[in-house]
Homo-oligomer: A and B are copies of this chain.
Amino acid sequence: MDHSQSGTNHSDSLLFLTDEQLRKGIEAMFFAYRGFTADPDRILEGMDYGRAHHRALHFIHRSPGTTVNNLLAILNVTKQSLNRVLRSLIEDGLVESRVGRTDKRERHLHLTTNGAALERSLSDAQRARMRAAYRAAGPGAVQGFRQVLEAMMDAEARRQYQSLKENPS
């Protein structure tokens, strides 16, 4: 790769993207993601839970009855890592694991009443921030935001994101 221009190029594309513009985008992602996770993190600190538990609760809420394997594919962690999280959620009565009726090897995951309550308090906080950000940025910004994020995903993540999109619970 040619570094003599540090990658800046004003001539070979539809957009004029300077390294400076790209770097601001990178830094915006870094600082914004911190804000994005801040409220749920605050709620969970002091409980025995962390961000990993939040993710599990979110996607079980999103796709009730999902299997462990489905969840592994979405979260992109090892089953040992997920299992530690799920075990504590099940032991604490926030998640229920039901043996599959057609395929008894599978475990189908559901939130209990308590689990749904915690998930809601976490997602309320996160939605409140997202709502405030959307409103501050204005209607036009929302679409651009989602378009850039979607284009930033790996192909497999985008597939998962879109299939969640098409399958609203």
CB distance from A12 to the nearest CB of B (A): 11
Whether A144 is near chain B, meaning CB under 8 Å from some CB there, is yes
CB distance from A14 to the nearest CB of B (A): 6
Q: CA A149 – CA B33 in complex, angstroms?
A: 8
Establish whether residues A126 and B32, one from each chain, have CB atoms under 8 Å apart when the complex forms.
no
Whether A133 is near chain B, meaning CB under 8 Å from some CB there, is yes
Establish whether residues B153 and A31, one from each chain, have CB atoms under 8 Å apart when the complex forms.
yes
Q: CA A148 – CA B147 in complex, angstroms?
A: 12
CB distance from A117 to the nearest CB of B (A): 9
Which of B32, B76, B150, B151 is within 8 Å of A150, CB to CB?
Answer: B32
Per-residue contact bits, chain A 127-145, to B (CB 8 Å; 1 contact, 0 not): 1111111111111111111
Establish whether residues A29 and B22, one from each chain, have CB atoms under 8 Å apart when the complex forms.
no
Q: Give chain B residues whose Cβ lies under 8 Å from the Cβ of A161.
A: 27-28, 31
Q: Give chain B residues whose Cβ lies under 8 Å from the Cβ of A131.
A: 17, 22
The binding surface of chain A is classed by DSSP as helix
Interface residues on A, range: 35 or more
Whether A34 is near chain B, meaning CB under 8 Å from some CB there, is yes
CB distance from A155 to the nearest CB of B (A): 9
Whether A91 is near chain B, meaning CB under 8 Å from some CB there, is no
Contacts A15-B139, A141-B143 known; list 7 others, CB within 8 Å: A23-B123, A25-B142, A26-B36, A29-B32, A31-B153, A140-B144, A142-B148
Task: Give A24-77 interface residues, CB cut-off 8 Å to B.
Answer: 24-36, 38, 55, 58, 62, 76
